[in-house]
Amino acid sequence: MLSLQGDPRQHHHHLQHHQQLQLAPYSADHREDSLATTAASSSVANLKRSQALDSHEVDEGMLMALAHQMYKAGNFKQALEQSTSVYDRNPQRTDNLLLLGAIHYQLHDFDMCIAKNEEALQIDPHFAECYGNMANAWKEKGNIDFAIRYYLIAIELRPNFADAWSNLASAYMRKGRFNEAAQCCRQALALNPRLVDAHSNLGNLMKAQGLVQEAYNCYVEAIRLQPNFAIAWSNLAGLFMEANDLNRALQYYKLKGNQPFSDAYLNLGNVYKALGMPQEAIVCYQRALQVRPDYVVAYVWRRSVDSMLDTIASVVNSVENFMEVQQETYFWTLALMLKMKWECGNYADAISCYNEVLRIDPLAADGLVNRGNTYKEIGRVNEAIHDYTRAINIRPAMAEAHANLASAYKDRLIDLNSRLTLHSGHVEGAIKSYKQALLLRPEFPEATCNLLHTLQCVCDWEDRDGKFMEVEGILRRQIKMAVIPSVQPFHAIAYPIDPMLALEISRKYAAHCSIIASRYSVPPFNYPAPLSIKGEGGSGRLRVGYVSSDFGNHPLSHLMGSVFGMHDRENVEVFCYALSPNDGTEWRQRIQSEAEHFIDVSSMSSDMIARLINEDRIQILVNLNGYTKGARNEIFAMQPAPIQISYMGFPGTTGASYIHYLVTDEFVSPSRFSHIYSEKLVHLPHCYFVNDYKQKNCDVLDQNCQPKRSDYGLPEDKFIFACFNQLYKMDPDIFNAWCNILKRVPNSALWLLRFPAAGEMRLRAYAAQHGVQSDQIIFTDVAMKNEHIRRSALADLFLDTPLCNAHTTGTDVLWAGLPMVTLPLEKMATRVAGSLCLATGIGEEMIVYSTKEYEEKAVSLALNRPKLQDLTARLKAARMTCPLFDTARWVRNLERAYFKMWNLYCCGQHPQPFKVAENDVEFPYDS
């Protein structure tokens, strides 16, 4: 969801005054201008010392030096005269053009500032300072998007441009993009630790995240560097005010700093108001208004202080009264207040307040977008779409409204058998809206990346390689800038991007989870003593906790349903922590009844859950979500257990230092690829991917219950290739191979799922372009689990997708007795199907290692029916005995892994990779 967006014409220097979060004034911008011209000044001195200069050159150099001197003294009009004289003599002099731009900036002629910097860039396109100064001007003109764009160019040209990083942080703060702002501040300070503005602004951002001590340290450092820095003193006072230490806050507001500015007066007034001193508060609010007559918040609090009321109703009334004084700013200020209320989780009140805003001004597009965001956040997607559409009708050029509308279309999903598929109309609407957002704002990373994902979901492959190159460039720049990537880790696992880049994406998301965790200010936990499970002083049973939002009708529960009750209760005590409420299905009921402890924590805050896990003395905590819907990875970032592992939910690396192990197997995650994982790899025997089919789906084996091809409109006489993976897993290379296979195998067809339905039209058209007959492509709807497995047996051969394999679907088709052809690559998600095949005992006949071999294998099996029939018969015969479907055997091996982890911990060793063998005798299985 995008952050609050205001009319660019209505931005002010301090948008967060009522939170005591002041953006530093443009000293960083001013300093940047000075630094940009200092080098030119020293160059003039060198020129004057040169014996080779003629009088004309000396005069020009002296004029430049004088212009600099006037500029530094704050005599901007005189500086303009001198600099203009230089320009008249030499209009190609880029250092003077930069200085002219800086002078016009100080004289508030921002258009001329931009024009002069553009002149310089025509001469020297790589002049980073010009882009930085143009960004400052665009920021003052209220176009924050342009400002951000130019700051980024300046940084790309000069990565060590500390002031540009600091000013970019300021711009991100103006847009409400606080995480990126904080990371830019840190980058600026890494380059120049003496940037007081960056220290102060970073303190504001830390404070907004609830990191009070970190905020305090930032403000103190700013004051140490510049003792008279009034804004840092004011922000420091704000910390004491929020801690209810009002007298100390009053002392800092009154006594420190030498720059009287509106926010300081406002905050001082708020302290007096909190102390019950209304007359003093009114005086302060009046002073704030004298410094800044359009300061709506000061007017609001002055109006409310008489009755000492600060309810939203009184704010609304005050804002309406203030319209007589300053109409242009009332909405932005009120909206900012409402955004704060919404971010505290009070959605009903936030919606009520936005309704009031829209009553005052029915054409307030920002209010509609933000109310739409609130609706979308609580799942009322249709109402969100309505608000975004109205906002677009009012302000057609509002890029955020178009992008948010696209995201809302994507969220309008149909849930079939816990699989999510998009309406065709909704997908097309999303694509159209993302494209419109990018027309309005070409530099819009979220829209660019979300558009690519939507196109991938429906197999729109036009200029696919170019789009992925563009997105990869965005990701690398974001990672370099320490910005949260616009591609989510779960999407990255299926993208053709470098595995190391996928690791970096996960690392950034893991770090973001740590930031979320830090907001709860949970102190470090104490862990159970590192004692062996049995023997003298032993700790009894090993306590294992599973955390998931998918205990219900979801593929995870379809696969793991019996696992939680199969653990050896003599040695292992199992706790399941459900992050989602009871969905009333048999899957939830089964796990709830079979697990030794099942705790519904869906209504608890993350810190409460972490405390509960720690109080339960969990020794090994298992993350079954990873980066999937419903995850609350901040719980793991709080580290409530001494050993934390990732398993099953996310087929890739979490990038998290607080996740110690990844449970996998030697084929899926070979040791030679360990560098693409942040976790230590634990290799289970056979296949890491568990399933519950032998316990839950034995009816599939009953020959008397098999469906017929005619039940699904399948031709009886054709050779049926099948792929039941979601369409986003497909790519042109594999589909080209499928087309070649269909053309080489007479009387053959390819059976696919409408998953989503919006992709059918595109795939049919693509196949036709490659010479495939229309009756060779057959689509069918998604079905319930049992029916889906049974009907899989109607196909002759399953064709896997290399970029992201069949995982749950792979176990479905193998349990149905349907052989497959799979091509493993490097990342985890590309190798799961191969591991599934190997665990049947006949997998090597189904695994290939090149696209050419893939095509040849499929054609060979289709044309040699006796060979395929033999493979199918052996696969069906192996189902009841092979390791892949032996859940109890898998659970014993997993327990061996758990005890190995615990024994390493008890020995004081750090987590380390290891392999579990079925003949391992790990404690407590020995005496």
Within a domain: residue 143? no
Within a domain: residue 65? no
Within a domain: residue 608? yes
Within a domain: residue 83? no
Nearest to 532 by CA among 899, 921, 893: 899
pLDDT in tens, 293-337: 655 555 555 555 544 444 444 444 544 454 444 443 444 444 444
- Give whole-number Cα distances, 562 to 418, 567, 592, 686, 693, in Å: 19, 9, 11, 19, 10
Rg (CA), the chain: 32
* CATH number for position 590: 3.40.50.11380
Q: Which domain holds residue 608?
A: 542-689+909-915
Largest Cα separation within the chain, whole Å, is 106
pLDDT in tens, 158-196: 999 999 999 999 898 888 788 888 889 999 999 999 998
* pLDDT at residue 612 tops 70: yes
User: What's the whole-number mean pLDDT along residues 339-355?
Assistant: 56
* pLDDT at residue 574 tops 60: yes
pLDDT in tens, 48-96: 334 344 444 457 888 888 998 889 888 899 999 999 999 999 999 999 9
Q: Token digits for 513?
A: 């989870």
Claim to verify: residue 662 and residue 769 sit in the same structural domain: no
Q: Give the full edge-to-edge strand order of the sheet including 719-723.
A: 777-780, 748-753, 719-723, 797-799, 820-821
Select from 183, 209, 226 the last residue of a domain.
226
* CATH number for position 744: 3.40.50.2000
Claim to verify: residue 516 and residue 560 sit in the same structural domain: no
How far apart are the C-alpha atoms of 716 and 728, rounded to whole Å?
29
Tally of CA atoms within 13 A in the half-sphere of 695 that contains its CB: 18
* CATH number for position 494: 1.25.40.10
Within a domain: residue 920? no
Within a domain: residue 5? no
Claim to verify: residue 645 and residue 768 sit in the same structural domain: no
Claim to verify: residue 762 and residue 874 sit in the same structural domain: yes
Claim to verify: residue 733 and residue 682 sit in the same structural domain: no
Claim to verify: residue 556 and residue 625 sit in the same structural domain: yes
Select from 226, 259, 279 the last residue of a domain.
226
Q: Token digits for 448?
A: 């660019």
Claim to verify: residue 488 and residue 571 sit in the same structural domain: no
Claim to verify: residue 846 and residue 717 sit in the same structural domain: yes
* pLDDT at residue 416 tops 90: no
Within a domain: residue 601? yes
How far apart are the C-alpha atoms of 276 and 253, rounded to whole Å?
17
- Please give the tally of structural domains in the chain: 4
Claim to verify: residue 760 and residue 865 sit in the same structural domain: yes
Claim to verify: residue 800 and residue 870 sit in the same structural domain: yes
Task: Report CA torsion sign: 641, 646, 649, 650.
Answer: positive
Ranking 479-488, 619-628, 827-836 by mean pLDDT, the lowest is: 479-488
3-state secondary structure of 16: strand
Within a domain: residue 417? yes
Claim to verify: residue 720 and residue 679 sit in the same structural domain: no
Claim to verify: residue 488 and residue 425 sit in the same structural domain: yes
pLDDT in tens, 860-909: 999 999 999 999 999 999 999 999 999 999 999 999 999 999 999 999 99
Select from 179, 208, 226 the last residue of a domain.
226
